[in-house]
Amino acid sequence: MTNPSENLAADAGEIPFRAIVEQSLVGIYVIQDEVIQYANGVFAGLTGHTPEEIVGMHIRELTPPWSGEDNLQRIRQRVSGEIPSMRFRTQGWHKDGYPVDVEVHGSRVIFRGRPAIAGVAISIAENVQFEHDLLHSREQLRALAARINDDREKQRQLIARELHDVLGGILTSIKLDAARVRRRLERDENREIADGIVDLAREAIDSVRQISETLHPSLLDHLGLVPAVTRQLETFAVRHGIACTINATESPLPISKAQGIAAYRIVQEALTNIARHAEATRVQVAIRLDGPTLHIAVTDNGTGISQAQLERPSIGIVGMRERARDAGGHLEISPGLDGGTLLRLTLPPIMETAAERPADD
């Protein structure tokens, strides 16, 4: 049934708010005295009610037990004018007994001569589920990255040891045997062949040592992070013809073995990136302690890294961040003071587990 006065109002050029509100795809409500005074079908439907059912219900009946007080508090703040308008996420309570996630925007109005709240509400169940899934898959990715780093480190260590101990041992025996054979030979063609075998075995031993050192630096285990990074930098300077300096504390570093490996690998990837992308001529590494917190900075004077590249990093930077996080610290990459790139790693001391001992003891 149409009310003649409504037709008249519409005819007089007034906007037909009632029709708009009732057809709205978002929930619309009016609350006064903590009781629903008006609700459109969508608002009532959020909690499984009809508009007729929901009008007259107290807010406490429409919110889960754990958020009832918060919601009443928000209503009081708006009614009193303390915070006249609020937009927030909360939960409603479905009549079948489960929470529903909603986003609400409601403001203080005057209704029948007294303060009330008029507002809109939408269901955000899908967003909440999506955010939850996203968070969950991020956590899984992090755990996976940490696990990959860990496994890779263990494998490297294992291969380094096997190479060094087993292959290195065999090659040393070959070299010694060849040297013994050589001593028994006259100076002739056979002696020259034996000389060649001894030289080859020596070269092979050196190369096994180098490969093993690259896979897992024994300096890190035996002397600690600073000597290992210093050696790494020397090799890098020679290989790439880039001037490198290191400025490092002489104090023992209060970090665990795992943190030492993380810091070493982060510096290694930073140097690899400099060699591959930066076109730098100078690299500076600083290792200092601020109380017990370790700070490592790697600066280059190259082309610099753009914000877009930082926002779409590849495995290298993602892996560095994960290692830093896993070691209890964090990593920042920013433009250097005079061009180039500055990478800063902060590692606060972490409690050691029984299986670990300091890298620098």
Ligand X SMILES: Nc1ncnc2c1ncn2[C@@H]1O[C@H](COP(=O)(O)OP(=O)(O)OP(=O)(O)O)[C@@H](O)[C@H]1O
Per CB under 6 A, residues contacting ligand X are 273-274, 276-278, 300, 302-305, 309, 313-317, 341
CB of 310 to Mg ion, least distance (A): 12
- In the list ligand X, Mg ion, none, the entry touching 303 (Cβ below 5 to 8 angstroms by class) is ligand X
How near is the Cβ of 340 to ligand X at its closest, in Å?
Answer: 7
305 binds, among ligand X, Mg ion, none (CB under 5 to 8 A by kind): ligand X
134 binds, among Mg ion, ligand X, none (CB under 5 to 8 A by kind): none
Shortest reach from residue 325's CB to ligand X, in Å? 15
Q: Which residues contact 303 (CB under 8 A, 6 or more apart)?
A: 277, 278, 279, 280, 340
Positive or negative CA dihedral for 11, 14, 18, 24?
positive
Pick from ligand X, Mg ion, none: which does 307 bind, CB < 5 to 8 A by kind?
none
Residue of minimal CB distance from ligand X? 316
Residue 138 interacting partner from Mg ion, ligand X, none (CB closer than 5 to 8 Å by kind): none
Q: Which is nearer to ligand X, 109 or 275 (CB)?
A: 275
Q: In what order do the strands lie in the sheet with 35-39?
A: 35-39, 27-32, 114-123, 99-111, 85-93
- Smaller CB distance to ligand X: residue 2 or 314? 314
Minimum separation from the CB atom of position 279 to ligand X (A): 8
Report whether 107 contacts 118 (CB < 8 A): yes
Whichever of 59 and 270 has its CB closer to ligand X, that residue is 270
Of residues 219 and 275, the one with the C-beta less far from Mg ion: 275
Report the distance separating Cα 152 and Cα 214, nearest Å: 13
- At its nearest, how many Å lie between ligand X and the CB of residue 328? 22
Which tokens go with 214? 């690259």
Q: Which is nearer to ligand X, 138 or 222 (CB)?
A: 138
* Binds 254: which of ligand X, Mg ion, none (CB < 5-8 Å by kind): none
CA distance 22 to 38: 11
| Helix (H), strand (E) at residue 112 | none
Round to whole Å and give the CA distance between 23 and 29: 13
Return the number of the residue (47 or 273) whose C-beta is nearest ligand X: 273
- Whole-number Å distance between alpha carbons of 111 and 106: 14
- Residue 196's identity, in one-letter code, is G
315 binds, among Mg ion, ligand X, none (CB under 5 to 8 A by kind): ligand X
Closest contact distance (angstroms) between CB of 316 and ligand X is 2
CA-to-CA dists, residue 34 to 27, 55, 103, 123, 184, angstroms:
17, 11, 18, 21, 106
Residue 329 DSSP SS3: coil
Question: Cβ 227 to ligand X, closest distance in Å?
Answer: 24
Our CB check for ligand X shows the closer of 105 and 239 to be 239
CA distance 32 to 322: 51
Contacts with Mg ion by CB under 5 A lie at 273, 316
